[in-house]
Amino acid sequence: MTVKACSELPNKALEKVLSAYQLKLNVIQNNTDIPGSFWGETEAGLIGNTLYIQNSTPVHSALHEACHFICMDKTRRQTLDTNAGGDYDEENAVCYLQLLLSEHIPGYSQAQHMQDMDKWGYSFRLGSAKRWFLEDAEDAKQWLCDKNLINKQGKPQWRLRDA
């Protein structure tokens, strides 16, 4: 199972997207514990407004954690340490937003992201990330619209959730 690692992206590609959301990127040495990682191993971690990764961290993991930061309310962001929390609707919105943001990262794409999600074991009722996104994610899109994180056309608004 090979998915795209953060080290395979062009220099600063991920940082450009993250900085639009006031997120700092901290790349730590491979084979060390990632601060704030809920899942451990190479999975990205969050503490405050810092996203921690290794070069070997999958891009989808970095985007997933970043989107948790974007989608959570201000109160949760202020005390964020490892566990992003959130409910079922927010988790779906996170998955949807990460797929939207993947289109804004040079060297990555939404199609690659969907394949990586499937390889990694994300579970969707229709069997794949692509089918979920295209056929079953209207509630996630609406949640993001309601929180002013995307517009009606599905374009990111480059802002954090307020409440």
Q: What is the chain written as a DSSP string?
A: ----BGGGSPTTHHHHHHHTTT-EEEEE-TTSPPTTBSS-TT--EEETTEEEEETTSBHHHHHHHHHHHHHS-HHHHHT-BS-----HHHHHHHHHHHHHHHTTSTT--HHHHHHHHHHHT---TTSSHHHHHHHT-HHHHHHHHHTTSB-TTS-B-------
pLDDT of the residue at 40:
87
pLDDT of the residue at 122:
87
Domain ranges within the chain, ordered by starting residue: 6-78, 88-146
pLDDT of the residue at 45:
98
What's the whole-model pTM score? 0.95
Q: Which residues of the chain have pLDDT under 70?
A: 1
